[in-house]
Structure 1
Amino acid sequence: MVRFNEQKGPNAMTTQNIGLFKAIGAKMNYLDQRQNVLAQNVANADTPGYRPHDLEKVDFGTVLKNVTKENVVRPVTTDPRHMPAPNEVETARSPEMKKVYDVAPTGDAVVLEEQMVNANKNQIDYNLMTSMYQKNVSMIRTALGVGR
């Protein structure tokens, strides 16, 4: 039988203290905010002079680095045929990423079809994050021998 210490406070072992779960939560928060912006675009489709908005894309690799500052997890390359870490691969260019969710105008008028496609992509991404969260919790529960 697995027993846990009843710790409280910032050092308690919860999913909120695991870097991967923090990153998934940040992505879900971003997608939630983006869905609100897209819904406003659809709601104002017939408003004269209204310009559709969208959130700037965020590099969630940077978010993951920020939430796992203390606990850096990297794959070990013990063989030259192993894939290198992403920061070891040369890139043609390094885009500057925004750290905040900026709203930027995207055009003169709302195109409902475009907004529906964006909302659908957003929902698919949100469902993916939900599934990842659930699968990782399930994996942890299995490793602990809980909930078989």
Structure 2
Amino acid sequence: MAISDMPMLSALRTKMQWHQERQRVLAENVANSDTPKFRPRDLVEPKFDKVGGPAAGGGMGQLPMMRAQGVNISPAGASATFAQNNRVGYETRPAGNAVNLEDEMLKVSANQMDFAAASSLYSRSLGLLKTAIGKR
């Protein structure tokens, strides 16, 4: 087995490929921000198990809020899940376009930062493994 075929490095490589493809999809959304009846698209993030392989369950649900020992104070009117601030839909303009440039640009910058973190972790892990086996 090659060093780059290890499950953790393979998962990081898959994650970087996903970020690359997501950047392409988000760029299409921005480019079509004035196209009539265009709906923005996004990709579903890949899920991995503890070993680094694809997760069997697939999608991630909402996490319920839990109380530790019943002493936590909950704010008035708080939602029962952490996903309370997620927007459900997009505002559609009269031409039928639903692209919100501010949201898309936030997604683009978050995607760039996540890709940079994954690529840095990949290169450092690969370098550490090469050092450990004496090839560096």
Q: Distance in 1 between matches of 2:59 and 2:9?
A: 21
Give 1:97's aligned residue: 59
Q: Distance in 1 between matches of 2:109 and 2:12?
A: 19
Give 1:6's aligned residue: none
Give 1:28's aligned residue: 16
Structure 1 segments, 4+ long, off by >4 Å, are none
Q: Distance in 1 between matches of 2:49 and 2:33?
A: 34
- Contact persistence 1:23–1:60 (CA under 8 A): yes
Indicate the SS of the match to 1:65.
coil
From 117, 129, 132, the equivalent of 1:140 is 129
Instruction: Tell me the TM-score normalized by structure 2.
Output: 0.65
Over the aligned positions, Cα root-mean-square deviation in angstroms equals 2.6
Give 2:119's aligned residue: 130
CA shift, 1:21, in A, is 1.1
Give 2:109's aligned residue: 120
Structure 2 counterpart of 1:25, one-letter code: R
In structure 2, list runs of 5 or more residues that go unmatched.
Answer: 61-88, 93-97
CA shift, 1:125, in A, is 0.8
Give 1:46's aligned residue: 34
Indicate the SS of the match to 2:42.
strand
Indicate the SS of the match to 2:28.
helix
Equivalent residues, number: 102
Structure 2 counterpart of 1:134, one-letter code: S
Identity percentage over the alignment?
Answer: 35
In proportion to residue count, which structure has more strand? 1
Structure 1 counterpart of 2:134, one-letter code: G
1:51/1:62 Cα in 2 relative to 1: closer, same or farther (>3 Å)? Answer: farther
CA shift, 1:66, in A, is 4.3
CA shift, 1:63, in A, is 8.3
Moved more, 14-23 or 38-47: 14-23
Indicate the SS of the match to 1:56.
coil
